[in-house]
Every structure is written in structure tokens, then in C-alpha cells.
């Protein structure tokens, strides 16, 4: 298990863009079809923009039509944590980075096989590391 990343709000604000901070630290959401990775088709891995923790792989990314990058499974389940989210008048399952607690998005039970899950993730909570050939 990797060591948890703990920083003050001031440190996060200095390191992240305003949008990254709003989404990852304040549990915001980017507008659909505006994120840099929702149409990305390159091979590689998606890591946490806050701490570099490996979160998702291009191998599990799929086109959900929602306007956010969607994955049917995390790269390593131990690298994410989930919690009940009752904001906005509905119960959803929030997805967070286990290493730093960054809000990533939500997971829904309407994804493709083999898991039937759709991890709907904000692009601005991710960095992408292209696979080397």
C-alpha cells in the first residue's frame, strides 16, 4: 500500500488549475463534451492529476456517449475508493483516488461487460501517460 498524500488546501490551490481544484478538491464536475480525454483513443494509462496514482487504462476505456471519459474497470481496484454521494437529490457512488482523496467522478451500473460498470470520470482529474512503442 502506498503512502497517502496529504496537503493543505493552499498547497493544492498552488499546484492545480482552478478547474482541477474545483473538481478534485471541491467535488465539482466539468461540463460534458469539454474534457481533454473524453475522445482520447491513444493507448496508455490515466493517472491522478493530483498525485500520479495509476487509476485507469485505455484498455478498459469505452465510448459511453455521456461526454466524459468512461471505463468499465479501474487499472488497480486498490488505487480507488468509493463512497455514497447523496448530493443533488440522488444517491450515487463517488469515485476517488485512494492515495490523495481526489474526487474523480462517479460509477454507475450501466456499463458494458465484463463488469457492467461505467466509471464516469472528469478529464481534468486525470493526466494521461501514452504507452511507449
**CB 122, CB 36: distance < 8 Å:** no
Q: Under a CB-based contact definition with an 8 Å cutoff, are residues 126 and 117 in contact? A: no
Q: Which residue among 50, 100, 120, 124 is the active-site one?
A: 120
Active site residue 100: no
Using alpha carbons, select from 42, 36, 46 the residue that is nearest to residue 67.
36
Distance CA 90, CA 11 (A): 32
Report, as residue numbers or ranges, the catalytic residues: 120
Amino acid at each position: 500500500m502506498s503512502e497517502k498524500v496529504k496537503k493543505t488546501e493552499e498547497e493544492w490551490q498552488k499546484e492545480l488549475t482552478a478547474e482541477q481544484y474545483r473538481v478534485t478538491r471541491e467535488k465539482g464536475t466539468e461540463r460534458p463534451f469539454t474534457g481533454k480525454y473524453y475522445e482520447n483513443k491513444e493507448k496508455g494509462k490515466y493517472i491522478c492529476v493530483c498525485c500520479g496514482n495509476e487509476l485507469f487504462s485505455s484498455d478498459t476505456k469505452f465510448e459511453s456517449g455521456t461526454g466524459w471519459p468512461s471505463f468499465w474497470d479501474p487499472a488497480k481496484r486498490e488505487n480507488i475508493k468509493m463512497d455514497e454521494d447523496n448530493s443533488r437529490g440522488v444517491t450515487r457512488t463517488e469515485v476517488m483516488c485512494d492515495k490523495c482523496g481526489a474526487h474523480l467522478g462517479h460509477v454507475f451500473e450501466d456499463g458494458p461487460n465484463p463488469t457492467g460498470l461505467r466509471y464516469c470520470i472528469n478529464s481534468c482529474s486525470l493526466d494521461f501517460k501514452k504507452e511507449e512503442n
